[in-house]
Homo-oligomer: A and B are copies of this chain.
Amino acid sequence: MQRIHVLSTGGTIEKIYSEQRGSVENLGSKIEAYLGRLRLPDTQIDTKRLMNKDSLEMTGADRAQILAAVRERLDAPIVITHGTDTMVETGLYLKRALGPLEFPIILTGAMTPLGFESSDGLQNLTESFFAARVLPPGIYIVMHNQALPVDRARKDKENARFVLVDSVN
């Protein structure tokens, strides 16, 4: 049985449509409900909700909180669900703060919220859990059938995807 830690922080992947306001907002956690749609007979998922924020609103204190939660879970692979706008920034912050790793740390999210038509959320979660089992230690962005080392990933906002770039570190 493979253990995987999940830390959820909000972002588009967990946004919900508000019928009263007609907008999409981070109002509550959705990850657990969607995990129930995956078959994971040999995997133990331990989920911890850290915050529920649009990643453009994340502060230094929020990132310190993520780092502290990661430090407590270095005994197994970690999947962090996160808004895409500052996912790379958080990943680079973790990379600078953490020493050598024994397991992979995966940052993932979605361009369209879980449960909306054409959502990429469940695909990205599926890939991230698989990546957590098979990738070598390191910090990665995993989405859309790509595993990008965090220091070589950049969001291409216009095309709603991440692309591989030359190392920025």
Contact = CB atoms under 8 A, between A and B. Distances in A.
Q: Does more than half of chain A's interface fall in helix, strand or loop, or is it mixed?
A: loop
Interface footprint category on A: 35 or more
A17 B145 contact: no
How many copies of this chain sit in the oligomeric assembly? 4
Interface of A: 2, 12, 15, 17, 19-20, 22-24, 37-43, 54, 111-118, 120, 123, 126-127, 129-131, 133-135, 143-147, 157-161, 163-164
A166 to B, nearest CB: 16
Contacts of A147: 130, 133-134
A45 B94 CA distance: 34
Given A17-B24, A38-B123, A130 B145 contact: yes
Contacts of A161: 39, 41
Given A24-B22, A42-B145, A115 B117 contact: yes
Contact of A19 (B38, B127, B144, B160): B160
A145 B20 contact: no
A35 to B, nearest CB: 11
Contacts of A112: 17, 19
